[in-house]
Structure 1
Amino acid sequence: MSEQAPAPQARDSRAGATSEPVRIGPVELARLSREAAVALLLDHVARRQRRAVAFANAHGLLLAMDDAAYARTLSRFLVLNDGIGAEIGARVLSGTGFPDNLNGTDFIPALLSAAPAGTRLYLLGAHPHVVEKAATTFTDRYPAIEICGWRDGYFSPDDEAGIAAAINAASPDILLVAMGNPKQEYLIDRLFPHLEVPLALGVGALFDFTAGEVVRAPGTMRRFGLEWIFRFLQEPRRLGKRYTSGVFRYLWKILWLRLTGGRQPSG
């Protein structure tokens, strides 16, 4: 990938102090309020300074702890915290949590709402009818944003060069990639050296939510970082392992990191 700026320090306006990034296992996460994160990313767009962004929840952090290749990939991203798992990890390992929960499904609407008129957006991922419907919904919700193109997420590695060329031809300011992790981060990492877009973000199930294919948790559950419970009840077969044994493995690894001063368990 092209050179990335280092993970930023953030000034927490409520505490009046500078917040250092926090390391959870092999992953460094920025400590940013939602307002500061939006301002930072839009500044990258304005300056045409390229940045790849990932959102790390407990599942993604556990994947990085288990897979050194994924951890190395995330080291080339600005990583933002997503959900209660990241919050627990930060509090246990550093004593301090995050200013805000920056889950992508809520953060991206805040980013697009704050983006200046004429900002160009490209969507990549999901089923063909889902990404098309998401593009239409984004157009209706954010009339100042220009949807300059979209492409579904069903293609082979041989298609990636053509996809990069199509994205560059559309000249977006922001690229959203919705394939779930780790697939979307691996794809962004492969494509980014060939892209001219300033900002690329892996956004998980955002297109499904935006298109109305998946119902979101009630606002109270989202505010307390409990949307994962609602998702589990919706799709117990697909998400069962992630939200049962995966949760226990994640908490065990966080405890081990705390007890050993950051040394990861081998299994």
Structure 2
Amino acid sequence: MPSSSSSALKLSADASPGGADQPPVPVLPILGMPVHDLGWNQALALLEEKLVSRTGFTHIAFLNANNANVMVQDPAYRDVLSRCLVLPDGIGVDIAAKFLHGGRFTANLNGTDFVPAALTFISRPLRIGLLGATSDVLQAAAQNFRRHTPWHEFVEISDGYFDRADPALILKRIEAARIDLLLVAMGTPLQEKWVDRHLTSDHARVVVSVGALLDFVSGRVARAPGWVRRLRSEWLFRLWLEPSRLWRRYVLGIPVFLIHVLRHRLLHPHAPSA
């Protein structure tokens, strides 16, 4: 469990899962970005609360080592993430939390596991929009989602190859669909920036930037075996499957991320390490 030191933990009153009568949710900053430190049940309940609320708009994003590297190089992306509810994804940010704050995140809430779990957890029927990926992947993912949680309605908004310079048609389509939850799969940092620039509570109560989730749900990309995931080594499995595409992200990206973490610690020497 993360250190409870007040200087290691910030508090986010906006993310309080139970409203004003409940204590705010702790966050652990990673490279200066607050990342919510939630257990599985707490995270699922928080999402459900955001979905049933009649007011407000929540954009959920995930921070892993690769996204953090992008954030360091791209101030505009950092600004977008600062307006999101950010959840921890992967062993890289766990290592960073341990080094910077003396404790790991309570749970690995990566989108590939969190979104399907949330759809199962929420029994109230929802209208869920899917935006991104290729047409074939989008259709296959929608079919598998319908089999997974048939009480929800899945709306295929568009693949990810629409005219982003003129998104008016897509925005009208999303608004007309009366979406509760929108899953956007257009890759980091494009998806987060696009959501931040264009979407409001007129389009959905909650939007989740999901990266490659639709590829996994469609079956186009295989998940690692359960024992590999339990060892927190799914990145090795993905690297083995797609070395030419992912070697830069993992073979180069992970050491670069750890250098950023070390540099951040050196520039902020008074942060406790437990």
TM-score by shorter chain over 0.5: yes
Any runs of at least 4 consecutive aligned residues in structure 1 with deviations exceeding 2 A, and if so which?
A: 5-11, 17-20, 193-196
Please tell me whether the aligned partners of residues 26 and 64 of structure 1 are also in contact (alpha carbons under 8 angstroms): no
Structure 2's unaligned 5+ residue stretches are 1-11
When normalised by structure 1's length, the TM-score is: 0.89
Q: Which residue of 1 aligns with 2:136?
A: 129
Select the residue among 164, 168, 192 that pairs with 1:161. 168
Question: Secondary structure of the residue that 1:201 maps to in structure 2?
Answer: strand
Please tell me whether the aligned partners of residues 27 and 64 of structure 1 are also in contact (alpha carbons under 8 angstroms): no
Please tell me whether the aligned partners of residues 139 and 156 of structure 2 are also in contact (alpha carbons under 8 angstroms): no
Please tell me whether the aligned partners of residues 33 and 99 of structure 1 are also in contact (alpha carbons under 8 angstroms): yes
Paired AA for residue 32 in structure 1: L
Question: Secondary structure of the residue that 2:156 maps to in structure 1?
Answer: strand
Question: Secondary structure of the residue that 2:250 maps to in structure 1?
Answer: coil
Per-residue Cα deviation, 1:131-178 (whole angstroms, up to 9, x for no partner)? 011111111110111113331000122341211110110111100001
Select the residue among 232, 244, 260 that pairs with 2:267. 260
2:70 matched to 1:84?
no
Q: Which residue of 2 aligns with 1:14?
A: none
Q: Which residue of 2 aligns with 1:35?
A: 41
Select the residue among 13, 24, 33 that pairs with 2:30. 24
Q: Which residue of 1 aligns with 2:107?
A: 100
Please tell me whether the aligned partners of residues 51 and 200 of structure 1 are also in contact (alpha carbons under 8 angstroms): yes
2:107 matched to 1:109?
no
Structure 1's unaligned 5+ residue stretches are 12-16
Instruction: Give identity over the alignment, percent.
Output: 40
Distance apart, 1:10 and its partner CA = 7.8
Per-residue Cα deviation, 1:162-208 (whole angstroms, up to 9, x for no partner)? 11110110111100001221111111111223743100001111111
Question: Secondary structure of the residue that 1:241 maps to in structure 2?
Answer: helix
Q: CA, structure 1 residues 196+92, in 2 after alignment: closer, same or farther (shift >3 Å)?
A: same
Select the residue among 191, 201, 205 that pairs with 2:212. 205
Paired AA for residue 131 in structure 2: L
When normalised by structure 2's length, the TM-score is: 0.87
2:50 matched to 1:44?
yes
For this pair of structures, how many residues does the alignment match?
254
Question: Secondary structure of the residue that 2:113 maps to in structure 1?
Answer: helix
Distance apart, 1:224 and its partner CA = 2.6
